[in-house]
Structure 1
Amino acid sequence: MDNVWMVASVWMGLAVAASFISVRIGISVALIEILVGVFGGNVLHLQTTPWIDFLASFGSVLLTFLAGSEIDPASFRRHIRISIPIGIASFLLPFVGAWLYAYYIAGWSFAAAKLAGIALSTTSVAVVYAVMVETGLNQTDIGKAILAACFVTDLGTVLALGILFSGFNPWMVVFLVVTAVALVCLPKLTRLVLGRLGGRVQEVETKFLFLVLFALGALATVAQSEAVLPAYLVGLVLAGVFQHTLVLGRRLRAIAFTLLTPFYFLKAGLYVLLPAVRHNAWLIGVFFTLKMVTKVAGVRPLTALFGYTPREGNYTTALMATGLTFGTISSLYGLSHQIISQTQYTVLVTVVILSALVPTLIAQRWFQPRVDGAASAGDVKSVSDEI
């Protein structure tokens, strides 16, 4: 199809349809966009174009940046004793388990097995954050501890993707040095831009942040790394700035979720082959079970160690087993760089979709803690005592 406006209208039409469905049934719009993308690829036989590929790539970078900026630094420091062990276990066991199974039993290449480990180690900040807000648990200490643990898990995922698939060359040294300097300087520089030029119709602060993401992404690409790595780290160091500049965060989210991420998630679904899902249903089931078992083995004992009640422990474990955004980012990265085949991509993304749905439904249906109005003021035990 040569008419660029017709192509854009078809893709945006699918995005609008996904939004309607999401509002109607109350499931994450990102998940629905992936499923609609599956329909577009298998039924409508849609293809991507260079400009769609760019919008989708920038969507993944901006989404990664926003995920990092969602972390409340004060809350993370307050729950660091709980969140770091849970987050590390939530990343490490699924990563190693999926990697070993894919390589030694499923017969995937060493690189493809590493990619599988990364894709299935994730926890979905988007899904967990939505659940926290919907239930009111984001105002409680147990909810904040879960979100902080999600940050640790996803940081491990992003670092693994950046490190294990980077080409170590002189440009990598330049990239690491420039990124380190940028991370140190950006909070003060961003506050300066906001203070002197923010809030104007020119949107200088938004363009400034886009420039930073573009420049670091370009340097990461030259260094044979991945643009989501500096984006996530920039989001983390600017999280404190965003806590005091809510309007800027809302603008960036509006840009991301209106224009960019629909193209990313639709494209992610586009490459899922339904015949491959049918022919590899057993492998999908094995990978999904492996992710759930390793998440439970890693997280559940630690919740008991930190004094969670069984209900709280099961709820925390189920939410830490979710996956969506970074799972699809990792999988699409592997497909785009020919690390995995389209069939392997289909297997991984299908597992990611299942992990976004099943643990969330289990957590909400059977283990959701009851929220008391005063619960957010105490420690984790204060929520426990109300259950």
Structure 2
Amino acid sequence: MENTWLVAALWIGLALVSGLIAGWTGISISLVEIAVGVVAGNFLGLHPNQWVNFLAGVGSIVLTFLAGAEVDPVVLRTKFRESVSIGFLSFLLPFIGAFLYAYYVLHWTLEASEIAGIALSTTSVAVVYAVMVETGLNETEIGKIILAACFITDLGTVVALGVLFANFNSWMFLFIVATSLILAFVSRFTPFFLNRYGNRVSQLEIKYIFFLLFFLGGLATMANSEAVLPAYLLGLAVAGFFLQEKTLTARLRIITFSLLTPFYFLKAGLYVSLPAVVTGAGIITVGLIVKILAKFLGVWPTTRFFKFGPREGMYTTLLMSTGLTFGTISALFGLNHGYINQVQYTILVTVVILSAVVPTIIAQAFFRPDREAVTREEKLEAKLVP
């Protein structure tokens, strides 16, 4: 019989080790947790059980909600062209490139190639948001543009998955109607609820957020969609209010990064089978190159068109090249519904996880903008604007 407490101690111990390594090396904690998960899965025989899957799922949902809540509505409006252009091209070109590679080079079926296109077109909200928070760039305009562009990219992947594979039944109709109604009223009701019931020992505002996330996630699951989609939309709906509620946001971050996201990122690393990686190294390498190259062709010229600095443009391009949450979800969707087999799933998930690690390490090591310098420049630009 499994000893729940020892299993929990093992997972939290790995998270603790990951945090220490991240502190010693300066590498983003999310990437270290993924790498530790790879080692634990291949050499320690670690595997997720039901409650680990639940905590990891909650971690991805709340992290996605927080990422949506960090999208400044003012920046989204004032930098609408930049955000939409970067986000849309970040989705479109990798989708086309990965689809063509899978269909014409690997000779996968049409459905498997479509899954490949969707899985490799994503940008990892989880990784990008974690990096933004660690560096403090989520408080800057460039960070908010990147988060807004991530939203557009992943919205494109969700729409593509829905149009190509969704089962439009009564549950899907109910999910769409319920989500639309909640999103329409939540931005007005949330300030009222928090002003009336917030700041109590029982933390009713946290329970309120979790209730909405779980409820919409449950409806999404019934509709064969994914719980992270309404979480992102819900975060975006309350973003204006949450940007003013720094204390509430900080409490949610503490819960998320200390307890929930370690399970999510460690579990993501478990999907990488090193023997399978060695066997399919050529295919995986080319797939990673296709994704990153397509992202560069779409994002880098767009950042230059909108007069991003060379450093900021490269940093934006590299972070938009990451993938994790929606990529693994899309691959798992294809596997569960028989559109791809286990070998194809391993290839896609490995490419997705490598895309979370490689571009982020390069971006953080060589192109990370200095937060203070960026803030000073943004303040100067604001003064110069009439």
Q: Which runs of 5+ in 1 are unaligned?
A: 383-387
Question: Structure 1 residues 229 and 165, CA, compared in 2 at 3 Å: closer, same or farther?
Answer: farther
Q: Secondary structure at the match of 2:87?
A: helix
Could you list the per-position Cα deviations for residues 163-209 of structure 1 after superposition, in whole angstroms to 9, with x for gaps in the alignment? 54432111111110111000001111211210110010111111111
Could you list the per-position Cα deviations for residues 79-104 of structure 1 after superposition, in whole angstroms to 9, with x for gaps in the alignment? 11222111110111111211232233
Higher mean displacement: 116-125 or 210-219: 116-125
Structure 2 residue 77 is matched with structure 1 residue 77? yes
Could you list the per-position Cα deviations for residues 297-328 of structure 1 after superposition, in whole angstroms to 9, with x for gaps in the alignment? 11222233223455554343233223344434
Distance (whole Å) between structure 2 residues aligned to residue 275 and residue 41 of structure 1: 12
The aligned residue for residue 104 of structure 1 is: 104
On the 8 A contact 2:28/2:134 being kept in 1, the answer is no
Identity %: 57
Q: Secondary structure at the match of 2:168?
A: coil
The aligned residue for residue 61 of structure 1 is: 61
Question: Structure 1 residues 366 and 25, CA, compared in 2 at 3 Å: closer, same or farther?
Answer: closer
Could you list the per-position Cα deviations for residues 57-78 of structure 1 after superposition, in whole angstroms to 9, with x for gaps in the alignment? 2222222212211111112211
Could you list the per-position Cα deviations for residues 100-141 of structure 1 after superposition, in whole angstroms to 9, with x for gaps in the alignment? 322332233444333322222222345445655666765654
Structure 2 residue 124 is matched with structure 1 residue 124? yes
Question: Structure 1 residues 153 and 356, CA, compared in 2 at 3 Å: closer, same or farther?
Answer: same
Higher mean displacement: 120-129 or 297-306: 120-129
On the 8 A contact 1:63/1:256 being kept in 2, the answer is yes
What is the TM-score of this pair, normalised by structure 1?
A: 0.88
The aligned residue for residue 234 of structure 1 is: 234
Structure 2 residue 293 is matched with structure 1 residue 302? no
Question: Structure 1 residues 198 and 338, CA, compared in 2 at 3 Å: closer, same or farther?
Answer: farther
Distance (whole Å) between structure 2 residues aligned to residue 251 and residue 20 of structure 1: 22
Distance (whole Å) between structure 2 residues aligned to residue 372 and residue 129 of structure 1: 18
Question: Structure 1 residues 243 and 162, CA, compared in 2 at 3 Å: closer, same or farther?
Answer: farther
Distance (whole Å) between structure 2 residues aligned to residue 266 and residue 220 of structure 1: 24
Question: Structure 1 residues 110 and 92, CA, compared in 2 at 3 Å: closer, same or farther?
Answer: same
Could you list the per-position Cα deviations for residues 250-276 of structure 1 after superposition, in whole angstroms to 9, with x for gaps in the alignment? 222222222222222222222221100
Question: Structure 1 residues 102 and 10, CA, compared in 2 at 3 Å: closer, same or farther?
Answer: same
Question: Structure 1 residues 63 and 207, CA, compared in 2 at 3 Å: closer, same or farther?
Answer: same
On the 8 A contact 1:42/1:270 being kept in 2, the answer is yes
The aligned residue for residue 376 of structure 1 is: 378
Distance (whole Å) between structure 2 residues aligned to residue 326 and residue 6 of structure 1: 31
The aligned residue for residue 258 of structure 1 is: 258
On the 8 A contact 1:41/1:269 being kept in 2, the answer is yes
AA matched with 1:276: A
Higher mean displacement: 135-144 or 99-108: 135-144
On the 8 A contact 1:71/1:236 being kept in 2, the answer is yes
The aligned residue for residue 156 of structure 1 is: 156
The aligned residue for residue 385 of structure 1 is: none
Question: Structure 1 residues 244 and 281, CA, compared in 2 at 3 Å: closer, same or farther?
Answer: same
Distance (whole Å) between structure 2 residues aligned to residue 367 and residue 12 of structure 1: 32
On the 8 A contact 1:321/1:355 being kept in 2, the answer is yes
AA matched with 2:88: I
The aligned residue for residue 223 of structure 2 is: 223
Higher mean displacement: 127-136 or 251-260: 127-136
Higher mean displacement: 205-214 or 157-166: 157-166
Question: Structure 1 residues 115 and 358, CA, compared in 2 at 3 Å: closer, same or farther?
Answer: same
Aligned-pair RMSD on alpha carbons?
A: 2.7
Question: Structure 1 residues 342 and 12, CA, compared in 2 at 3 Å: closer, same or farther?
Answer: farther
Give the superposition deviation at 1:341. Answer: 4.0
Could you list the per-position Cα deviations for residues 15-35 of structure 1 after superposition, in whole angstroms to 9, with x for gaps in the alignment? 211122122212222222222
Distance (whole Å) between structure 1 residues aligned to residue 255 and residue 375 of structure 2: 34
Q: Secondary structure at the match of 2:272?
A: coil
Give the superposition deviation at 1:5. Answer: 1.4
Number of equivalent positions? 381
Distance (whole Å) between structure 2 residues aligned to residue 134 and residue 29 of structure 1: 9
Distance (whole Å) between structure 1 residues aligned to residue 335 and residue 127 of structure 2: 24
On the 8 A contact 1:273/1:343 being kept in 2, the answer is no
Structure 2 residue 44 is matched with structure 1 residue 44? yes
Higher mean displacement: 230-239 or 139-148: 139-148
The aligned residue for residue 95 of structure 1 is: 95
On the 8 A contact 1:272/1:342 being kept in 2, the answer is no
The aligned residue for residue 11 of structure 2 is: 11
Q: Secondary structure at the match of 1:47?
A: coil
Q: Which runs of 5+ in 2 are unaligned?
A: none
Question: Structure 1 residues 111 and 36, CA, compared in 2 at 3 Å: closer, same or farther?
Answer: farther
On the 8 A contact 1:288/1:355 being kept in 2, the answer is yes
AA matched with 2:178: V
Distance (whole Å) between structure 1 residues aligned to residue 40 and residue 180 of structure 2: 41
Within 5 A, what are the aligned runs for 1:161-180?
161-180=161-180
Distance (whole Å) between structure 2 residues aligned to residue 30 and residue 361 of structure 1: 11
On the 8 A contact 2:271/2:349 being kept in 1, the answer is no
On the 8 A contact 2:217/2:227 being kept in 1, the answer is yes
Within 5 A, what are the aligned runs for 1:275-294?
275-294=275-294
Question: Structure 1 residues 199 and 109, CA, compared in 2 at 3 Å: closer, same or farther?
Answer: farther
Distance (whole Å) between structure 1 residues aligned to residue 42 and residue 376 of structure 2: 50
Question: Structure 1 residues 138 and 45, CA, compared in 2 at 3 Å: closer, same or farther?
Answer: closer
AA matched with 1:88: F
Distance (whole Å) between structure 2 residues aligned to residue 28 and residue 326 of structure 1: 20
Q: Secondary structure at the match of 1:374?
A: helix
What is the TM-score of this pair, normalised by structure 2?
A: 0.88
Distance (whole Å) between structure 2 residues aligned to residue 104 and residue 94 of structure 1: 15
Structure 2 residue 11 is matched with structure 1 residue 2? no
Higher mean displacement: 51-60 or 370-379: 370-379
Distance (whole Å) between structure 2 residues aligned to residue 113 and residue 6 of structure 1: 42
